[in-house]
Amino acid sequence: MTNVIAFKKPKRSQQHKGKFLCQQGHHRWKVDQQQHFHSKQGKLLTLYRCQRCGITKTKAL
């Protein structure tokens, strides 16, 4: 029985690995090319979206 339990644990940890990385601030950022916009100062910003958790951030070019 212990062998079965030990065999299932790695699978569970792999499923939570992505969210764990995001929670630690290690997001998988991808540039969203279709959503450039201007800030209040007139600078062009690029939108980044995390492919794992879906949050977004902006970065000035």
- Residue ranges that bind Zn ion, judged by CB under 5 A: 22, 27, 50, 52-53
Residue that has been written with the tokens 């630690």 in this structure: 24
- Is the Cβ of residue 23 or residue 39 nearer to Zn ion in the bound state? 23
Smallest gap from residue 13 Cβ to Zn ion (A): 18
Smallest gap from residue 48 Cβ to Zn ion (A): 10
Smallest gap from residue 23 Cβ to Zn ion (A): 8
Cβ contact 9:25 at 8 Å = no
Phi and psi, residue 12, nearest 5°: -65, -45
